[in-house]
């Protein structure tokens, strides 16, 4: 396991805050109220460990297959339905949404190999990530990747806690399946828009792993 580069600054600041809180606590409080000093230590240590865990990048055997589409994120499948895409395709698409809790790995990966043909950031609200309107009203970053099988749209969506979406792709870039595409800080959601009729390989409420779990197969 490694720590994602997006977490270096946050963890460094948190570690400094941990020291600045606990050193005075042990010096001034522990002699008179050791239980309070111990409680402060446990709470701040828990928060620091949570932040370190949030930015973790576990070692995994990644899935690669020309006819496969892999999950772009860790989390739970919360939507599998047909929708009308107003942003790019302007027609019906099959939407699969993965909800990422703060406890999940928040690195995002490319579902397929291909060329990036669309990349657009949208300002927006911070509704809870499972809200139906979060796909179209929340802060989000949309990317379309095209290969010989067709085009898919991957949408990184900020949640109520997420205030920063990071996307490393650009139009014209060639990307590899299961390679990193971006990162979302704290609770969030990722939508994948597929051609109608694509063979889906996940179920509602299924827990999936980014870059590992097969999301669908090309028809």
Q: How distant is the alpha carbon of residue 188 from its chain centre?
A: 6
How far apart (Å, rounded) are the C-alpha atoms in residues 39 and 68?
49
- One of 135, 142, 178, 188 is an active-site residue; which one? 188
DSSP collapsed to 3 states, 134-169: HHHHECEEEEEEEECCEEEEEEEEECCCCCCEEECC
**Whether 188 is catalytic:** yes
Distances (CA, A) of 217 to 65, 88, 160, 201: 9, 22, 32, 7
Nearest to 193 by CA among 160, 151, 161, 159: 151
Strand order in the sheet with 107-109: 107-109, 180-184, 165-167
How far apart (Å, rounded) are the C-alpha atoms in residues 19 and 28?
14
What is the sign of the dihedral through the CA atoms of 140, 51, 212 and 168? positive
Phi, psi of 16 (to 5 degrees): -65, -45
Active site positions, annotated: 188
């Amino acid at each position: 396991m490694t720590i994602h580069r997006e977490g270096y600054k946050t963890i460094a600041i948190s570690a400094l805050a941990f020291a600045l809180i606990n050193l005075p606590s042990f010096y001034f409080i522990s002699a008179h109220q050791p239980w309070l000093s111990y409680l402060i230590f446990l709470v701040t240590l828990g928060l620091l460990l949570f932040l370190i865990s949030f930015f973790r990048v576990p070692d995994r055997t990644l899935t690669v297959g020309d006819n496969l589409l892999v999950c772009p994120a860790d989390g739970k499948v919360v939507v599998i339905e047909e929708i009308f895409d107003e942003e790019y395709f302007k027609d019906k698409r099959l939407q699969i949404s993965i909800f990422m809790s703060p406890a999940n790995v928040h690195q995002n990966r490319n579902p397929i190999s291909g060329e990036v043909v669309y990349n657009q950031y949208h300002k927006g609200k911070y509704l809870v990530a499972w809200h139906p309107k979060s796909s179209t009203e929340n802060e989000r970053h949309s990317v379309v990747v095209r290969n010989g099988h067709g085009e898919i749209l991957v949408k990184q969506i900020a949640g109520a806690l997420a205030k920063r979406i990071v996307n490393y792709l650009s139009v014209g870039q060639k990307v590899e399946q299961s390679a990193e595409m971006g990162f979302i800080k704290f609770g969030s959601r990722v939508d994948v828009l597929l051609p109608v009729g694509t063979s889906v390989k996940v179920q509602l409420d299924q827990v999936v792993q980014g870059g590992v779990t097969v999301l669908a197969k090309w028809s």
